[in-house]
Amino acid sequence: MRTVFGWIKQFFVKENKEKIPKCYKCGLMASIMVFMEIKTIELEDIDDNILVQLCSYCHTELHELYDKNYIPPIIKEE
């Protein structure tokens, strides 16, 4: 009985699971690491930095919100 259980278990259970980086915002697979340095309005350093992993969609969304030079893609009329 135990060997039958072991045989079935080998198909459904992975012993060595690889850690897949996940997006900190939505939980999908991350493809980009973003390092954020926080400063005051007078550009003085604060000892507070953030390192996050993001998927490509959340990375684009981050640019849309905070990058002053971001230009959205042109929408073509069909």
Residues 27-63: tens digit of each pLDDT: 999 999 999 888 888 988 888 888 999 999 999 898 8
CB neighbour list of residue 36: distance below 8 Å, 6 or more residues apart: 49, 50, 51, 52
Mean pLDDT, the chain, whole residue set: 84
- Reported as a pLDDT band with limits 50, 70 and 90, residue 2 is low
The predicted model scores a pTM of 0.59
Alpha helices in the chain (DSSP H): 2-12, 56-66
- Rounded to 5°, angle at Cα 10 from 8 and 11: 75
Distance CA 59, CA 61 (A): 5
Domain boundaries of the chain, sorted by first residue: 17-66
